[in-house]
Structure 1
Amino acid sequence: MYGPDGPTLRELAVQALSSVEHGYDLLAPKFDHTPFRTPDSVLESVGRELAPAGPFADGLDLCCGTGAGTEVLTGLCRNSVTGLDFSAGMLDVARRRVRPGAGPTIAWVRGDARALPFTAAFDLVVSFGAFGHFLPRELPTLFRQVHGALRPGGRFAFPVLAPPRPTHPAYWTLLGFDAVMRVRNALWRPPFVMYYRAFRLGAVLAELDRAGFAVELSALAAFGRRDDGSPRARLVVARRLSPPPAA
């Protein structure tokens, strides 16, 4: 599947029946040859949108995978860039493909985004395509962790694509995928959490507000607008307020 360099159907099946962590360890060598990897067009658009607010001192790529977003940060940060992921296999690939250069230092950390080992360490946190791995009830913890990892005034930025309408085949594809994953997780352990339709923008904005962020939305102009005039893609930029909210 996905061409000669991508995973086979058997490899995808083995991954899907594994835990999230082990599944991505298995997929890591071929991950960049799958549709699961964030497209360069999204990465580049986010980089262009954030550039006028920079340069930033230190940045974190949350759930960095093979490091595509980390590369974006190397063009936005002057001191250091850190990629964090809980898959050792993904980090191994990231280390090989994102080489240190004349810009910021690069560090790789294996860790859980729901228990970040950082306190007020970054001016910019980005994340690309990882939120389907978090259940809605986990978002408050996730956002509090990001809030604590940012310095006062620091930004948490991530793109959000407009969901397809019911008249589009992609709507039914994503609906079917999520339904299959729910059945799989009801029948098989360990669970593999990946739900494309669980990350709802309205709920996300409310949780960011509760976590102590001031949120701004901007359209990613490269993706145009839908027939009703709404953007096809937005950038969420959540700025950490100080002091942090009470637990």
Structure 2
Amino acid sequence: MFSPRGPSLRELTVQALSSVERGYDLLAPKFDHTPFRTPDGIIEATAEALAERGPFDAGLDVCCGTGAGLTVLRAVCQGPITGVDFSAGMLAEAGNQHPGATLVRADVRALPFEPSFDLAVSFGALGHFLPEERPALFEGVHRALKPGGLFAFAIGEPPPMTSIAHWVLLGFDGVMRVRNAVWRPPFVMYYRTTPLPALRKDLTAAGFAVEIEALETMGRRGDGTPRCWLVLARRAA
């Protein structure tokens, strides 16, 4: 649908009517040829920003998917890198792209790690968690980091109400809510449930000290607002 190598409309429909786990198992072989993959510009900008704070030792990619975040970890970590996801299909693709990484299949709302990582990253995953599920996710990441460890992720600035993008995202979330009200199993994917103030609140409650900075290489909108932010949440030393 998006490109000759991407999924067809029929394949996307089957995915959308599946559970999140089954849907991503089906989509995994063609995921990198869809707009759902985090753009390379964000990956590169995040790696550049984190390189200024590194080097790090062991790294963890939370909800690693096909491994975009593992690319960042490989660039800034001197030690082993690990990806965790609950989709076996996505992990298989990540393994093909990052044969040296350790890959773990797990529900990230109950991460199975002790404090062993210096850096954790995540890309494009927060919309798959309802607001009431974020505390468990953030507490698990906090638990997986060594004292002084850093959790970093990029998040886009919401488009202004006057833009077409605002209404497209609003419509998408509305369709997903209707779908989940009438169809089981649910497919949790929302674009408007992760405002920065709520994320900061949940991260702080999980024990992180939070900084938020603009990813300047992603540019600014006409009103001067950064297009993308980098959230930096640090576990106390």
TM range (shorter): over 0.9
Aligned-partner residue type, residue 191 of structure 1: P
Give distance in 1, aligned partners of 2:90 and 2:218.
28
Map of 1:132 onto structure 2: 127
How many angstroms does 1:237 deviate by? Answer: 0.4
TM-score, normalised via structure 2 length? 0.98
Map of 2:211 onto structure 1: 216
Structure 2 residue matching 1:158: 3-state secondary structure: strand
What is the aligned length?
237
Aligned-partner residue type, residue 153 of structure 2: F
Map of 1:207 onto structure 2: 202
Structure 2 residue matching 1:75: 3-state secondary structure: helix
Give distance in 2, aligned partners of 1:52 and 1:165.
31
Map of 1:10 onto structure 2: 10
Q: Deviations over 1:135-178 (max 9, x none)?
A: 00111111111110001110000001101111111111110110
Map of 1:35 onto structure 2: 35
Alignment of 1:28-177 (within 5 A): 28-100=28-100, 106-177=101-172
Aligned-partner residue type, residue 212 of structure 2: L
Structure 2 residue matching 1:191: 3-state secondary structure: coil
Give distance in 2, aligned partners of 1:218 and 1:186.
37
Aligned-partner residue type, residue 62 of structure 1: V
Give distance in 1, aligned partners of 2:114 and 2:170.
38
Aligned-partner residue type, residue 107 of structure 2: D
CA RMSD for the aligned pairs?
0.9
How many angstroms does 1:99 deviate by? Answer: 3.2
TM-score, normalised via structure 1 length? 0.94
Give distance in 2, aligned partners of 1:169 and 1:5.
27
Give distance in 2, aligned partners of 1:97 and 1:226.
34
Give distance in 1, aligned partners of 2:137 and 2:170.
25
Q: Deviations over 1:15-43 (max 9, x none)?
A: 00000000000000000000000000000
Aligned-partner residue type, residue 20 of structure 1: V
Q: Give the alignment partner of residue 197 of structure 1, picking from 178, 187, 192.
A: 192
Give distance in 2, aligned partners of 1:201 and 1:52.
23
Give distance in 2, aligned partners of 1:208 and 1:5.
38
Q: Deviations over 1:71-98 (max 9, x none)?
A: 1101111110001100000000111112
Give distance in 2, aligned partners of 1:200 and 1:113.
20
Structure 1 residue matching 2:142: 3-state secondary structure: helix
Aligned-partner residue type, residue 229 of structure 1: G
Aligned-partner residue type, residue 214 of structure 2: A
Structure 2: segments with no counterpart, 5+ residues: none
How many angstroms does 1:233 deviate by? Answer: 0.9
Map of 1:245 onto structure 2: none
Map of 1:227 onto structure 2: 222
Q: Give the alignment partner of residue 178 of structure 1, picking from 173, 177, 182.
A: 173
Identity across aligned pairs (percent)? 62
How many angstroms does 1:69 deviate by? Answer: 1.0
Give distance in 1, aligned partners of 2:96 and 2:118.
25
Give distance in 2, aligned partners of 1:99 and 1:48.
23
Structure 2 residue matching 1:114: 3-state secondary structure: helix
Structure 1 residue matching 2:84: 3-state secondary structure: strand
Task: Extract structure 1 runs of 4+ deviating beyond 4 A.
Answer: none
Structure 1: segments with no counterpart, 5+ residues: 101-105, 243-247
Structure 1 residue matching 2:58: 3-state secondary structure: strand
How many angstroms does 1:229 deviate by? Answer: 2.6
Structure 1 residue matching 2:135: 3-state secondary structure: helix
Higher mean C-alpha deviation, range 230-239 or range 218-227: 218-227
